[in-house]
């Protein structure tokens, strides 16, 4: 579907000369034209993905032309997640190049490489399927560095004679990388997790927690409704909101500035400060409500923050396992005791 | 900003005897864990390793070993509850949701 849209976009046609011989050899291969320019539709798709409105948006696997490439033009490899593909073609503005899209089931390069779908076998298969050795004369393919967890460069070389060159982490560095004779600086090889990187993840974090937040709100509402029907419910719902904001928004933003390395502790601390501030501001004195809130809400944020390890770019599986073993028992304990205390407070109005 | 996760926990191991100093691990590592020092490969930032496994799979002589996987709590909880291998079901964003 996406590719239809892409191919409908006007191909930059300065078509004379170089590709004529090419067309003869590639008659049986389905080569699609794409552009380096991104249109409104593309930006709209990116926005939908960023907001978590849609999760997957696929490009057809295969071979694409950017500009008017010939048999000497460079070949860049991408995933069939639309944002991966779009970032790559956009970075190739002004170049004549080939893009070979692997079938990664609509998953981005790094995640797909972790799963192995952006991997050695798929790369070898795709090189064979599109008859890459007939499309270009050279034996070089440029694979994004973040594809490396799934791709064994020497295995691909053995199987296809194509030499894998790992490009930079970010597509926007590609031109510099190519112009420097395939040399990447240290910065180009490093994955960051800067403020912008973290902020763009927030909408999806909120979306993931939304239904649980609504369920928890309703639960408290009914406990109160059939209990004491006290005003405490307002405080509870505000603190629940504070806990969710702490976990989904403040934690990602403040991540590097909060002490502790464990994500759950970062989330716990941020939320604890917010809850204590609210208790002081609202002048809460009910011992059940105060104690319950200090336990439940920070623990809830700790759990949300713990899940942010998956979105971060630097947590190891061994590390996350250790963090979970160490802190999940506390989180469960705090949540349980906190919930019981708040329930007592709401039921009895004390 | 140097983001650091828990200390002394990663499973990354380097066999310096087997290493042929091709530099492939330096190319693929997203966290600058390796460096060639006086023509010897060193792990200069071992704690920054996120166990993605790129160095291991791209080492032509098998000098690097690491238990690779996704550093994602959600995936592990899901894996534990369903009794399957931890695997994230995410395709959102490109900032490494796995």
Q: What is the pLDDT of residues A74-132, one digit of tens each?
A: 999 999 999 999 999 999 999 999 999 999 999 999 999 998 999 999 999 999 999 99
- Does the pLDDT of residue A231 top 70, yes or no? yes
Domain ranges of chain A: 2-191, 196-348
Is residue A62 classed as helix, strand or coil in its secondary structure? Answer: strand
The C-alpha atoms of residue B27 and residue A318 are separated, in whole angstroms, by 23
Classify residue B44: in a domain, yes or no.
yes
Contact A91, A85 (CB under 8 A): no
DSSP annotation of A116: T
Nearest to A69 by CA among A17, A29, A144: A17
Interface mutation vs chain A, best among B7, B43, B53, B57, most A CBs within 10 Å: B57
The C-alpha atoms of residue A104 and residue A88 are separated, in whole angstroms, by 15
Domain count, chain B: 1
Smallest CA–CA distance, residue B74 to chain A, in Å, is: 5
Report chain A's mean pLDDT, rounded to a whole number. Answer: 90
Q: Do A189 and B32 touch (CB under 8 A)?
A: yes
Classify residue B67: in a domain, yes or no.
yes
Classify residue B45: in a domain, yes or no.
yes
Q: Would you state the pLDDT for residue B85?
A: 66
- Does the pLDDT of residue A21 top 70, yes or no? no
Smallest CA–CA distance, residue A64 to chain B, in Å, is: 21
Q: How confident is the model at residue A12 (pLDDT cuts 50, 70, 90)?
A: very low
Number of cross-chain residue pairs from A and B with Cβ atoms under 8 Å apart: 189
Smallest CA–CA distance, residue B54 to chain A, in Å, is: 4
Q: Which of A52, A306, A316 sits opposite B9 (nearest CB)?
A: A316
Q: Tokens at residue A235, please?
A: 């405080």
Could you tell me if residue A156 is left (phi over 0), alpha (psi between -120 and 50 degrees) or otherwise beta? alpha
Q: Which residues of A touch B52 (CB under 8 A)?
A: 113-114, 148-149
Q: How confident is the model at residue A9 (pLDDT cuts 50, 70, 90)?
A: very low
Classify residue B97: in a domain, yes or no.
no
Record: fold of A2-191 = Rossmann fold (3.40.50)
Contact A317, B51 (CB under 8 A): yes
Q: Would you state the pLDDT for residue A103?
A: 96
- Does the pLDDT of residue A29 top 70, yes or no? yes
- Does the pLDDT of residue A292 top 60, yes or no? yes
List the CATH number of the domain containing B78.
3.30.70.20
Report the C-alpha dihedral over residues A166, A168, A170, A174, rounded to 10 degrees.
-100
Whether the CA torsion A240, A242, A247, A248 is positive or negative: it is positive
Contact B88, B74 (CB under 8 A): yes
The C-alpha atoms of residue A106 and residue A104 are separated, in whole angstroms, by 5
Whether the CA torsion B46, B52, B54, B59 is positive or negative: it is positive
The C-alpha atoms of residue A41 and residue A6 are separated, in whole angstroms, by 9
Query: In which domain, by residue range, is B59 found?
Result: 13-82
Classify residue B93: in a domain, yes or no.
no
CA-only gyration radius of chain B, Å:
15
Report the C-alpha dihedral over residues A168, A169, A174, A178, rounded to 10 degrees.
10
- Does the pLDDT of residue B2 top 70, yes or no? no
The C-alpha atoms of residue A72 and residue A137 are separated, in whole angstroms, by 6
Classify residue B66: in a domain, yes or no.
yes
* Nearest chain B residue to A144, by CA: B28
Q: Which of A115, A194, A322 sits opposite B87 (nearest CB)?
A: A115
CB proximity list for B18: less than 8 A, separation 6 or greater: B61, B62, B63
Q: Would you state the pLDDT for residue A18?
A: 36
DSSP string, B42-93: EES-GGG-----HHHHH-TT--EE-------HHHHHHHHHHTS---------
Q: Would you state the pLDDT for residue B80?
A: 79
Classify residue B94: in a domain, yes or no.
no
């Amino acid at each position: 579907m996406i590719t239809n849209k892409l191919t409908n976009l006007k191909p930059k046609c300065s078509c004379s000369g170089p590709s004529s011989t090419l067309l003869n050899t590639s008659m049986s291969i389905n080569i699609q034209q794409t552009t380096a320019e991104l249109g409104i539709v593309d930006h709209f798709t990116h926005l939908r993905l960023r907001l978590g409105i849609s999760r997957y948006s696929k490009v057809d696997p295969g071979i694409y032309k950017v500009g008017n490439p010939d048999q000497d033009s460079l070949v860049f490899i991408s995933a069939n997640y639309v944002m991966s593909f779009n970032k790559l073609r956009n970075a190739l503005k002004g170049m004549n190049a080939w893009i070979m899209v692997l079938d990664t089931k609509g998953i981005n390069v790094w995640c797909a490489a972790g799963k192995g779908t952006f991997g050695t076998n798929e790369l070898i298969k795709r090189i064979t399927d599109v008859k890459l050795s007939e499309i270009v004369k050279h034996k070089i393919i440029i694979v994004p560095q973040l594809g490396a967890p799934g791709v064994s460069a020497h295995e691909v070389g053995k199987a296809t004679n194509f030499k894998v060159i790992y490009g930079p982490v970010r597509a926007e560095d590609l031109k510099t990388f190519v112009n420097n004779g395939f040399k990447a600086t240290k910065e180009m090889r490093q994955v960051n997790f800067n403020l912008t990187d973290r902020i763009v993840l927030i909408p999806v974090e909120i979306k993931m927690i939304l239904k649980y937040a609504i369920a928890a709100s309703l639960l408290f509402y009914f406990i109160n409704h059939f209990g004491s029907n006290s005003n405490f419910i307002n405080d509870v719902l505000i603190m629940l909101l504070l806990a969710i904001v702490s976990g989904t928004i403040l934690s990602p933003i403040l991540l590097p500035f909060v002490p502790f390395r464990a994500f759950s502790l970062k989330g716990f601390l941020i939320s604890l400060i917010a809850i204590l501030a609210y208790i002081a501001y609202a002048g809460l004195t009910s011992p059940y409500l105060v104690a319950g809130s200090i336990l439940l809400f920070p623990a809830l944020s700790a759990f949300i923050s713990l899940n942010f390890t998956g979105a971060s770019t630097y947590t190891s599986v061994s590390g996350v396992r250790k963090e979970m073993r160490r802190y999940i028992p506390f989180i469960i304990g705090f949540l349980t005791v906190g919930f019981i205390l708040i329930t007592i407070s709401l039921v009895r109005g004390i | 900003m140097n983001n650091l996760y828990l200390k002394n926990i990663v499973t990354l191991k380097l066999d310096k005897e087997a290493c042929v100093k091709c530099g492939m691990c330096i190319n693929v590592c997203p966290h600058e864990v390796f460096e060639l020092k006086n023509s010897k490969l060193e792990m200069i930032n071992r704690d920054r390793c996120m166990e993605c496994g790129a160095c291991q799979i791209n080492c032509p002589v098998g000098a690097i070993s690491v238990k690779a996987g996704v550093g994602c709590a959600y995936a592990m909880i899901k894996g534990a509850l369903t009794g399957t291998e931890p695997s994230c079901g995410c395709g959102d964003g490109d900032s490494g949701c796995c």
